[in-house]
Structure 1
Amino acid sequence: MSGETTTVKSVCRMCHGGCGALVELTDGVPTGISGDPENPTSRGYFCIKGKASLDLVSSPDRLRTPLARTGPRGSGSFKPISWDEALDEVARNLRRSMEQFGSESVVFGQGTDRNYQEWVFRLANAIGTPNVVGPAHVCFYPRVMASILTYGGFTFCDYHGDPEVVLLWGSNKVNTHSDGVIGVDLLGALERGSRLVVIDPRRTRTAERATLHLQLKPGTDAALALGLIHLLIAHDWYDEQFVARHTSGFDELERHVRAYDLSTVAGITGLEPSLIETAARMYARASRACIEAGTGVSQSDNAFDTHRAIAALSALSGNLDAPGGDVIWDPMPIEGRRGFPRTDLLSEEQAAKRIGGTAHKVLSMSGWVAPGDLQEAILRDSPYRISSMVVFGSNPLVSHENATATEAALTKLDFLAVADMFMTPTARLADIVLPASSWLERDQIVEFNSYIAARQRVVTVEGARSDEEMILDLARRLDLGHHFYPSLEDALDAKLSGIDLTWQQFKKVGHLPNTRRYRKYATAGFRTRSGRVDLAHRGLEAMGYDAVPVFRPPASTTDELPFVMTSAHNLPFFNTEFRQLPTTSRRYREPHVTIHPRSAAGLAVADGDQVEIYRDPEGAGVVMTVKVSDTVAPDVIVADAGWWYPGEEDIHAATRSSINRITDSGRRDPYMGSSTLRGVPVGLRPVVTAEAEAEKEPEPEETADAEAEGGGGAHGAHSTH
């Protein structure tokens, strides 16, 4: 060993953030990682997830060879096989499904997009199946589709334009670093004088930095958005010139929001009327303002209409595509999310077979299938048989709503393959498990709103392959190679052809900024059928929906279910990932549920006690550790989301603290199929441990003595408990 040390620039993908990374290699082995101060987005920032990246390379729990199931599903009984054997088996089963039940009987599953989403869709379209399932319905796509249908594109906060006011809505951006515009940019804007309004049922650290915190009841965001619109119009705080020149449907929206007066909205949201009015005035009268809406808005049956109302609010205020406002994304000329999936390969006849396509038409327009619709289709064999599924980078048994139905559906499949880095509860149900590579082990073009970057392979872990390489190999085996490329590098070259660079050239460049252009509508109009911002949408109306955004009240609490559950992810983790890494799990060994002190006293629980969160008082719930805090309202609890225990081999033991064991598909967004994962009425009960029971019950001989002494001994036993 020479001890030679080199440093490679890359882009971290432990989450969506895309922070610049400097990877230190000693004799070709990663020995250190830190933030890249030259990265235009992160500027040297690097969180605990990024620092845990090296754990992925060396983890003893990594999958390093393909596996074939040898025992019953869920038993964890597998044998190692070669990559050729594994991919041949996957291809053989996909062919069998297509021949027996049609191409639509094959489903592809995907988790969060790490720039292989477009590859998954390309393979699905080439095969001829319209069925790709993932978290789109409760993540980015309610916002994407609401924005596209309202004004023809989706937006990002222009933090570099120094907004005077930022509305951070259902997002804790400083922790989550979402969408390639990470919390560093928000913090920079605040340091330069931007004022922050946080809309969140929790008092987060970000909320504590805000000028205003609107701590509304979970599930009432749509009512608040419509109420803010009402205030802008009623007080003439909207941009009349922009509305007259560039919008349609204003009069209809104005009539609709009259019902959302200040008193009504305050009663629905639980907010003080003066606080709502102050927030509306701050936002509307700011010279530059933007809205950062997160997934907290997307996880209810009001997801799409809430985002539609937020989009309308941006337009009415005159901040749409304006400096310091909500800038419409203008992609660089590379073959990415729009062109690479090759939607032209999927016939109209096959597209019409998409599961849930008639129930949730807007989600279907985006190409996705909602998990709840897929569960029903598999379990009922309706509208047709679903036979095989291949899952890339997802743990549906934990991440999808209604874990019981998810398990039943996955178990019923004729064939299930899972590509992952670790043996997850979902992988335990698979027939074939494919070991995937980490971000340090793959070449990718990372596309953000403000720049594109080269994420280059810095190390190879023997036995693991990237999702893109697996897809290329599967395409060849299915005689679909002509729709793809001879190699991954050829594909990357093709993606970069629009900017006249090859992959080898782009790696040396590192990243290229995207020019930010404002008020593009002034010359080209908006990319809608009307060419305007559609505050009332005739197309949605023709599809059987409401032309204007509406508010559907959340489910009410009851005597048996007196709390409203919302959820959040822990900072060191990303959705269901990284539970087994020493760096990220060091401080988080168990999931927590945050409870107000008054509620904790009523339940007779304290910090560190365990409680069971339930939907059915007679049924099982999920177990979490109590954290007592006044950061939530007395009738609200916040549960850690995406939790599972990697050390447990039994599926049910591994998922005993996953909140999706108590969520369901009963209340779904009519446009997107978004399930209600937040704003869920629940009950709580203390968990009585075996040790506590032993303390409570006297020994048999003590009982006899107590009876002989007239019961005084029994009283003493309960007093000491």
Structure 2
Amino acid sequence: MVELSDGVPTDIHGDPDNPTSEGYFCIKGKASLDLLRSPDRLTTPLMRTGPRGSGEFEPVSWDAALDRIGSELAATIGRHGPESVALAQGTDRNYQEWVFRLANAIGTPNVVGPAHVCFYPRVMASIMTYGAFTFCDYDGDPEVVLLWGSNKPSTHSDGVIGIKLLRAVERGSRVITVDPRRTQTAARSSLHLAIQPGTDCALALGMIKIVVDEGWYDHDFVAAHTSGFDELVAHVKAYDIERVARITGLAPGLIHEATRSYALAARACIEAGTGLSQNENSFDTHRAIALLAAICGNIDAPGGDVIWEPMPIEGRRAFPRSDLLPEEQAKKRIGGDKHKILSMSGWVAPGDLHEAIVTGSPYPITSMLVFGSNMLASHENTELVRQAMSKLDLVVVCDLFMTPTARYADVVLPTSSWLERDQIVEFNSYIAARRKIATVQGCRSDEEIILQLAERLGLSEHFFPSLEAALDAKLAGIELTWEQFTKIGYIRNEKRYHKYREGGFRTRSGRVNLMNNGLRSMGYEPFPVFRRPPETDPALPYLMTSAHPRQFYNTEFHQLPTTSRGQTTARVTVHPDTADREGLTDGEEVDLFTRAGARGVRMTVKISDSVAPNVVMADAGWWYPGASSVDDSLRSSVNLLTDNDRSDVHMGSATMRGVAVGIRRLGPGRG
């Protein structure tokens, strides 16, 4: 709810009548007026005048900026083919389908983003298992919620606000949390499994073995609706509880108790978060969890993991117009031969793209359009990202602020915040009308920019004469215009349970694929397999995991007073035993490093027993907006420590959690 005075926003708060949020409003939402009024907002297009990264630009008109972009893109497409253009975006801002539509209309298969370490390992694991994506049915009063790699009350993922989980707990749901860190949620859970970072796949396979051995699986569901159960039973024999306990660092009794509580619950769901998607076992971890949920009969059941049925609008599935991308162009997707499951979803892994740009193989990539992504802070292997951006002929960045990534651009286009644009917001539980209620002079929405670029590239036939016409087209399936929808504002996507009883699952067999022969035909294992990390170097005795502080959204909001006032530096949380061993004091600055003598990542020490003695928890997504150089701005970015050496074979997911590090003191510690 935004309060206006003479048409000017003056206050913002949660809507108690909204069935999704129930009035809950997090600090990032409260900072929206800061976002609108920030003196640091970009308000005019800029063209680079100095070296890449120098931050030296001159203001130009919108027409001049768009004409240059259109001209240079047309030239490189004519010279090197449409695949020489790459598009990039950050976390979805409900214009993801627009970015893909532009890419498909251009004819490039190369779209990069955070998909490989965020949402898509879970999406693709679900699709390869059930033929569809699932989400937790908190309104169905689950008896047990297995919160796995997710701090739901703080992160509010997938369009399902964490308040739904808390309300379920108030009604009697019990929570089992799997997380290396004792978060507030973990501390209030019935059980907390403080797992070693990156070992979740072994835990899931071990839990499946316990369920099978104890006979706790849903015999009727398994017999009627799954395939490959006997083969699964044989596969998980290797994951006995003692072995899994050694791998995960968990007590065997705790593993058994957690498995029993979940498997024997009448209604149970699994909230699997991005903590599981950021290591070399990413896809197989999510698929193992999908198999666990299936054999326990919790798929598409009340209080379980419900299959998403999209509403009949032209949204995330239809609007990208994948039919516009010729098959011969789709086959050119960078990394498509290596990370085949990610490629099936239409994405390119950043590591594959940046390597291709630097090497020029398998073909030249000369230009990149970046929509709402601070790639230098958010993508793994910062140095490779920097090399790639330095080599490109044309870099265009559309953003609200001058980020380190924008400093590397040839053209910077100032975009609008969510209060300044008309959008249809689509999630699994609802669609909503986001109405423009404010204007920052000089800024345009990403959708408007895409429409104007399409016109300059001669692609208007695949787009719309105006943004409102596009919104009308998206809503045609529910027989509403944008103007009519704004008066309704919100339409709930009503759930239906046990949909598979009508015609089976949306797999080729109509059953849940416990064993997936499609994976085998692509050269992968038909069952999930845990890949052990290499032996650690004694000089790197700690496992680094990471998460962004709750007041920030990935790399965003660092320059806003409401969100930044409580914390001005990146922190690393260490156990008191670690502090004693290293001679550290609370508030001391240290460097984390992955190679002796190499550049470290600057962190401020926070001593807490919320992590194990061999685990350190670093703040992720950190950069300093006021820094004078890109190097100084990124001095606390954990991605200076990540690389592409250990990536998931299916998705290209980088190992961003479970990284072996050492700690280097910068000054005198305790005497």
Cα offset, 1:515, TM superposition:
1.4
1:107 matches 2:94: no
2:379 aligns with 400
1:279-309: per-residue Cα shift (whole Å, max 9, x none)?
A: 0100000000000000000000100000000
2:23 aligns with 44
2:557 aligns with 578
1:4-60: per-residue Cα shift (whole Å, max 9, x none)?
A: xxxxxxxxxxxxxxxxxx011111111100001111111111111111000011100
Aligned equivalents of 2:534 and 2:270: distance in 1? 27
- Give the match's secondary structure for 1:258: helix
Q: 1:141 aligns with which of 113, 117, 120?
A: 120
1:675 matches 2:654: yes
2:37 aligns with 58
Counterparts of 1:554-633 in structure 2, within 5 Å, are: 554-633=533-612
Identity of aligned residues (%): 66
TM-score if structure 1 supplies the norm length? 0.92
2:389 aligns with 410
Aligned equivalents of 1:649 and 1:474: distance in 2? 32
TM-score if structure 2 supplies the norm length? 0.99
1:226 aligns with 205
Cα offset, 1:93, TM superposition:
1.3
Cα offset, 1:557, TM superposition:
2.5
Counterparts of 1:136-175 in structure 2, within 5 Å, are: 136-175=115-154
Aligned equivalents of 1:250 and 1:404: distance in 2? 45
Q: 1:237 aligns with which of 203, 216, 233?
A: 216
Aligned equivalents of 1:36 and 1:464: distance in 2? 28
1:710 aligns with none
Bigger Cα Rg: 1
Cα offset, 1:323, TM superposition:
0.3
1:240-266: per-residue Cα shift (whole Å, max 9, x none)?
A: 110111111111111010111111111
Aligned equivalents of 1:472 and 1:224: distance in 2? 47
Aligned equivalents of 2:202 and 2:308: distance in 1? 27
Aligned equivalents of 1:111 and 1:498: distance in 2? 28
- Give the match's secondary structure for 1:35: coil
1:71 aligns with 50
1:183 aligns with 162
1:303 matches 2:306: no
1:533 aligns with 512
- Give the match's secondary structure for 1:540: helix
Q: What one-letter code is carried by the residue in structure 2 that aligns with 1:667?
A: R
Cα offset, 1:579, TM superposition:
0.2
- Give the match's secondary structure for 1:475: helix
2:188 aligns with 209
Q: 1:277 aligns with which of 243, 256, 262?
A: 256
Cα offset, 1:182, TM superposition:
1.3
1:195 aligns with 174
Aligned equivalents of 2:542 and 2:429: distance in 1? 41
Cα offset, 1:229, TM superposition:
0.3
1:651-677: per-residue Cα shift (whole Å, max 9, x none)?
A: 000000000011001001000000000
1:685 aligns with 664
1:392-431: per-residue Cα shift (whole Å, max 9, x none)?
A: 0000000000000100100100110000000000000000
1:511 aligns with 490
1:299-323: per-residue Cα shift (whole Å, max 9, x none)?
A: 0010000000000011000000000
Confirm or deny: 8 A CA contact 1:395 1:576 kept in the other structure.
Answer: yes
1:482-535: per-residue Cα shift (whole Å, max 9, x none)?
A: 100000000000110111110001000010111100000001110111111000
Q: What one-letter code is carried by the residue in structure 2 that aligns with 1:555?
A: P
Cα offset, 1:113, TM superposition:
0.5
Confirm or deny: 8 A CA contact 1:418 1:430 kept in the other structure.
Answer: yes
Q: Which deviates the most, 244-253 or 431-440?
A: 244-253
Cα offset, 1:432, TM superposition:
0.1
Q: 1:361 aligns with which of 340, 345, 348?
A: 340
Runs of 4 or more consecutive aligned structure 1 residues displaced over 2 Å after TM superposition: 554-558
Q: Which deviates the most, 23-32 or 554-563?
A: 554-563
Confirm or deny: 8 A CA contact 1:597 1:629 kept in the other structure.
Answer: yes
Aligned equivalents of 1:684 and 1:378: distance in 2? 33
Confirm or deny: 8 A CA contact 1:106 1:389 kept in the other structure.
Answer: yes
Aligned equivalents of 2:234 and 2:197: distance in 1? 26
Aligned equivalents of 1:190 and 1:556: distance in 2? 40
Counterparts of 1:373-522 in structure 2, within 5 Å, are: 373-522=352-501
Q: 2:8 aligns with which of 21, 24, 29?
A: 29
Cα offset, 1:554, TM superposition:
2.3
Aligned equivalents of 2:533 and 2:96: distance in 1? 32
Confirm or deny: 8 A CA contact 1:101 1:385 kept in the other structure.
Answer: yes
- Give the match's secondary structure for 1:580: coil
Aligned equivalents of 1:93 and 1:366: distance in 2? 29
Q: What one-letter code is carried by the residue in structure 1 that aligns with 2:283?
A: F
Alpha-carbon RMSD across the aligned residues, in angstroms, is 0.9
Aligned equivalents of 1:592 and 1:555: distance in 2? 27
1:444-495: per-residue Cα shift (whole Å, max 9, x none)?
A: 0011111111110010110000000000000001000010000000000011
Q: What one-letter code is carried by the residue in structure 2 that aligns with 1:76?
A: G
Aligned equivalents of 2:63 and 2:5: distance in 1? 32
Q: What one-letter code is carried by the residue in structure 2 that aligns with 1:71?
A: G
- Give the match's secondary structure for 1:357: coil
Q: What one-letter code is carried by the residue in structure 1 that aligns with 2:463?
A: F
Q: What one-letter code is carried by the residue in structure 1 that aligns with 2:175?
A: L
- Give the match's secondary structure for 2:88: strand
- Give the match's secondary structure for 2:328: helix
Cα offset, 1:649, TM superposition:
2.6
- Give the match's secondary structure for 1:266: helix
Aligned equivalents of 1:570 and 1:610: distance in 2? 18
Cα offset, 1:555, TM superposition:
3.4
- Give the match's secondary structure for 1:252: helix
Q: What one-letter code is carried by the residue in structure 2 that aligns with 1:581?
A: L
1:268 matches 2:247: yes
